[in-house]
Chains A and B, each alone.
Chain A
């Protein structure tokens, strides 16, 4: 009876899942490694300095217990999403939310002040100058996230993973801990409605996947990027509709939202990639399937049209906002993203069958 009993294969090098197995081929030389180190230090220093930009509004961080799972979010005018956002992550076992508000004027702040597990900071500084809010959050992670499993999600992202309906993030992270895995990957999956954008109605207290039940089941293109060694996933509906003529600008869809944080870590580009490099190897290769989840992206809720008009004006997104004028125009025009090949959202098991996420052998 194979495998019952003996602790299999203790010293098998191929099963030891050494982090080196993927990096071997493209491991950078020491010069490059040192440059990456300097880059990480620079990012940390920026973030450290950005603490002056943050004003605590509601600091409940003394409630944080050592084993808590913490969520870090920066937001602006998300009152439509916050109720479900908090509900979703509370159900998954997030113990405390650390949020940075960047000038909301729609009641988000008042709403968050009334939540018992939300610590809120405010800033009027430029989102873009702060590396799209990353500096602020990295500072908070440095200050409060050390040693915790931390979740970095936007208000329009709902993380799901295998068995999320019956197991919490605590179960998942315990299992990841057991595997010696520090980071958990996810694919950002754009959900969209049937019919022109902006023509639906949405109740903030209901599940956004009911308003936005559709998604593109594929194709998603993957490649590995150097020098960080991260995977780069593109594709999906925005790629098909808005970037078909310049796919190199299509949104990056892979994220590393869940990391067992260390104050020396730093996200590089949103949470698409991170330093030190090994964090990008949540997929550890050379073959096989690692666990990964999906971030349900609820960007296309009805107010997206109005928001896009505002964002186009504010020019706070993207390194080169001018390049993305057509993208905003495309959304503002309120197109129907739905096609006969769209797939209806039906839970994680369906997404796993489609190959958009994987249990990675978590039974």
Chain B
């Protein structure tokens, strides 16, 4: 018996596995033409041939030397295809595979599938302009430059020669009538198309041209099939996945379920020692109840996630194998958080109010000099992060990124101010997850309400003002990615609730429809006079904005009691 499906196998290693797979094909009646790389030792080759000698459907073709990215692979495919078409006249579809390919579904499924589509050529084939696979690499230039140096062995020479050709504007002429197409090396073509390619009178011209194209196995048949095929399905029947470096993913035993789910006919590459995969897929499997379409998309996500994990990683994670270079972080932290400066000075019980309103975890001054004031004044929070100021100040950015990482999923808020450790400022400013709201000059309110000698107050005010204005410069820099809002205190107390509402809205955590009491503001009557006194003593408090000495604000800053809708 002879089937309408013929298999070409290109092998260069793990010959025992190749034999196993070849026998699997022939058991279903499919003839197999095997090309063994010329680089394989003669003795090994001869042993392989004699091992397969008892199977009349396994045939060996002349050997070529195959180098990655070179013409040899195309030449091998041509030779094998010619032999296939000559020797097995019943063959209607020729399927190109490698020694590391493994059929995932019963062969009969594939034969039936192809029998239903007798004129269809399955070959991934797209013009260079249409594909984005090779962004930044060589795509169109594969066809217009020359590549005398091996990319693998002489990378520098390769790159230099490419640059040189670009510099002098060298371009090869593409033979008339050819439109370069690229696609997966692994195809399944009809006898009609394949023989048209192989018997084309212009084939010497094409061969001569493609001999110097880079990686011709991904473009020779892909381009020429476009000339003759009546119906191209531009996809490969062979499932293959690529890792972050663009190398084929190698499937191992524990990918069994994934491979099953894909419903693909053939997968590559399979690790030769994946005994369980070979055992499972090469045994007699029940055919699909209803003919399923191959659906590699089902497992695409799994692999694209793996690639993303490798190339991007998890935002806000710093560990022994993820430590992005300064400026290359995608996000400095793992989750959005809010920083409030001056609010707990202006409002009574601001922390409790904020926690009730937003449901977020509200800490006190995390960077207070004595200790990190965690919510509820815990000494240890998620991740066993301790409140020790020494540990925190030893590496403040790690402290904050760890806190946000360990609590990701729950929004964190904390208070900040000029009296706190300032080493975190640049980190806050550069972090796009930070929402920083500052009421400048509010640090003066505790001083105003304090019971200290005025000389001490004056000295402290001068110090805090200096620190805060330095901090504002950072927040104002061009590198700032945080969402920063800055009000002067005078500006803020004009309509505090409105401003507060903007900030809360942006956090997007409050439940709409909740009636919430507005926070109570501290009594500021006499504050204008207090500032004037500072001025009179020669310290110029400018961060608060303009507070009239006569206390007009006193009237407006009465505590609010009326319920207020915060959305």
Q: Which residues of A are interface residues toward B (Cβ below 8 A)?
A: 1-17, 22, 25, 163, 166-167, 171, 174-175, 178-179, 185-187, 216-224, 231, 233, 235, 237, 239-240, 244-248, 253-254, 282-283, 285-292, 339-343, 355-363
**B508 at interface, CB cutoff 8 A:** no
Contacts of A25 in B (CB 8 A): 325
Q: How far is the CB of B98 from chain A (nearest CB, A)?
A: 13
Q: Which 5 A-B pairs have the closest CB atoms?
A: A5-B184, A361-B310, A289-B313, A219-B402, A292-B321
Contacts of B406 in A (CB 8 A): 217-219
A-B contact pairs, 13 of them (CB 8 A): A1-B300, A10-B151, A12-B135, A15-B311, A16-B245, A221-B395, A221-B399, A244-B391, A254-B320, A287-B312, A288-B324, A289-B322, A361-B306
**A6 to B, closest residue via Cβ:** B133
Binds A, one of B26-34, B108-116, B246-254, B477-485: B246-254
Q: Are A358 and B246 in contact (CB under 8 A)?
A: no
Q: Are B138 and A10 in contact (CB under 8 A)?
A: yes
**B535 at interface, CB cutoff 8 A:** no
Q: Are A163 and B307 in contact (CB under 8 A)?
A: no
Q: Are A6 and B310 in contact (CB under 8 A)?
A: no
**A8 to B, closest residue via Cβ:** B246
**B142 to A, closest residue via Cβ:** A10
| Selected contact of A10 from candidates B137, B183, B385, B390, CB within 8 Å | B137
Whole-angstrom CA separation of A218 from B359 in the bound complex: 24
Q: Which residues of B are interface residues toward A (Cβ below 8 A)?
A: 124, 131-138, 151, 159, 162, 182-186, 215, 218, 235-236, 239-250, 252-255, 271, 296-297, 300, 302-304, 306-314, 317-325, 328-330, 380-386, 388, 390-391, 394-395, 398-399, 402-403, 405-406
- A10-B246, A185-B320, A360-B309 known; A218 and B383 CB under 8 Å? yes
| Selected contact of A185 from candidates B183, B245, B321, CB within 8 Å | B321
Q: Are B382 and A341 in contact (CB under 8 A)?
A: yes
- Give the one of A186, A237, A358 with max B CB within 10 A: A358
- A216-B383, A219-B385 known; A5 and B236 CB under 8 Å? yes
Whole-angstrom CA separation of A202 from B131 in the bound complex: 61
Contacts of A1 in B (CB 8 A): 124, 235, 296-297, 300
Q: Are A247 and B398 in contact (CB under 8 A)?
A: no
Contacts of B382 in A (CB 8 A): 217, 341
| Selected contact of A341 from candidates B186, B383, B395, CB within 8 Å | B383
Q: Are A8 and B319 in contact (CB under 8 A)?
A: no
Q: Are A363 and B391 in contact (CB under 8 A)?
A: no
**A353 to B, closest residue via Cβ:** B314
**B264 to A, closest residue via Cβ:** A4
- A4-B296, A290-B321 known; A9 and B255 CB under 8 Å? no
Whole-angstrom CA separation of A175 from B308 in the bound complex: 17
**B299 to A, closest residue via Cβ:** A363
Q: Are A247 and B309 in contact (CB under 8 A)?
A: no
Whole-angstrom CA separation of A292 from B322 in the bound complex: 9
Contacts of A292 in B (CB 8 A): 319-321
Contacts of A11 in B (CB 8 A): 136-138, 151, 159, 162
Whole-angstrom CA separation of A290 from B320 in the bound complex: 9
| Selected contact of B402 from candidates A186, A218, A342, CB within 8 Å | A218
Whole-angstrom CA separation of A361 from B403 in the bound complex: 25
- A167-B254, A186-B320, A341-B383 known; A289 and B131 CB under 8 Å? no
**B123 to A, closest residue via Cβ:** A5
Whole-angstrom CA separation of A355 from B245 in the bound complex: 23
Q: Are A216 and B398 in contact (CB under 8 A)?
A: no
Contacts of A361 in B (CB 8 A): 243-244, 306-311
| Selected contact of A358 from candidates B247, B255, B297, B322, CB within 8 Å | B322
Q: Are A358 and B245 in contact (CB under 8 A)?
A: no
Q: Are A286 and B324 in contact (CB under 8 A)?
A: yes
Whole-angstrom CA separation of A223 from B309 in the bound complex: 21
**B383 to A, closest residue via Cβ:** A218
Q: Are B320 and A222 in contact (CB under 8 A)?
A: yes
Task: Compute the total of residue contacts between A and B using a CB distance below 8 Å.
Answer: 241
Contacts of B403 in A (CB 8 A): 219
Q: Are A355 and B133 in contact (CB under 8 A)?
A: no
Q: Are B323 and A222 in contact (CB under 8 A)?
A: yes
- A171-B252, A288-B311 known; A9 and B388 CB under 8 Å? no
Q: How far is the CB of A278 from chain B (nearest CB, A)?
A: 15
Q: How far is the CB of A214 from chain B (nearest CB, A)?
A: 10
| Selected contact of A2 from candidates B132, B252, B388, B398, CB within 8 Å | B132
**B246 to A, closest residue via Cβ:** A8
**B251 to A, closest residue via Cβ:** A363
| Selected contact of B324 from candidates A15, A287, A357, A362, CB within 8 Å | A287
**B402 to A, closest residue via Cβ:** A219
Q: How far is the CB of A264 from chain B (nearest CB, A)?
A: 23
Whole-angstrom CA separation of A292 from B317 in the bound complex: 13
Q: Are B402 and A5 in contact (CB under 8 A)?
A: no
Q: How far is the CB of A93 from chain B (nearest CB, A)?
A: 12
Q: Are B329 and A287 in contact (CB under 8 A)?
A: yes
Whole-angstrom CA separation of A245 from B386 in the bound complex: 12
Q: Are A9 and B246 in contact (CB under 8 A)?
A: yes
| Selected contact of A340 from candidates B307, B311, B324, B380, CB within 8 Å | B380
Q: Are A283 and B320 in contact (CB under 8 A)?
A: yes
Seed contacts A5-B236, A239-B391; 19 additional CB < 8 Å A-B pairs: A1-B296, A4-B241, A5-B186, A7-B218, A9-B133, A174-B271, A185-B320, A187-B320, A222-B323, A233-B320, A247-B391, A247-B394, A286-B324, A288-B313, A292-B319, A341-B380, A357-B319, A363-B302, A363-B303
Whole-angstrom CA separation of A22 from B325 in the bound complex: 7
Whole-angstrom CA separation of A302 from B299 in the bound complex: 47
Q: Are B388 and A244 in contact (CB under 8 A)?
A: yes
Q: Are B390 and A245 in contact (CB under 8 A)?
A: yes
Whole-angstrom CA separation of A68 from B420 in the bound complex: 56
Whole-angstrom CA separation of A12 from B255 in the bound complex: 29
Q: Are B250 and A358 in contact (CB under 8 A)?
A: no
Q: Are B384 and A290 in contact (CB under 8 A)?
A: no
- A7-B247, A286-B328, A287-B330 known; A355 and B384 CB under 8 Å? no
| Selected contact of A9 from candidates B134, B182, B329, CB within 8 Å | B134
Q: How far is the CB of A3 from chain B (nearest CB, A)?
A: 5
Contacts of B244 in A (CB 8 A): 15, 361
Whole-angstrom CA separation of A357 from B314 in the bound complex: 12
Contacts of B243 in A (CB 8 A): 179, 361
Q: Are A224 and B311 in contact (CB under 8 A)?
A: no
Contacts of B250 in A (CB 8 A): 175, 178
Whole-angstrom CA separation of A285 from B394 in the bound complex: 24
**B385 to A, closest residue via Cβ:** A219
Q: Are B254 and A8 in contact (CB under 8 A)?
A: no
- Give the one of A10, A163, A248, A254 with max B CB within 10 A: A10
Whole-angstrom CA separation of A19 from B411 in the bound complex: 37
Contacts of B302 in A (CB 8 A): 363
**A244 to B, closest residue via Cβ:** B388
| Selected contact of B183 from candidates A6, A283, A356, CB within 8 Å | A6
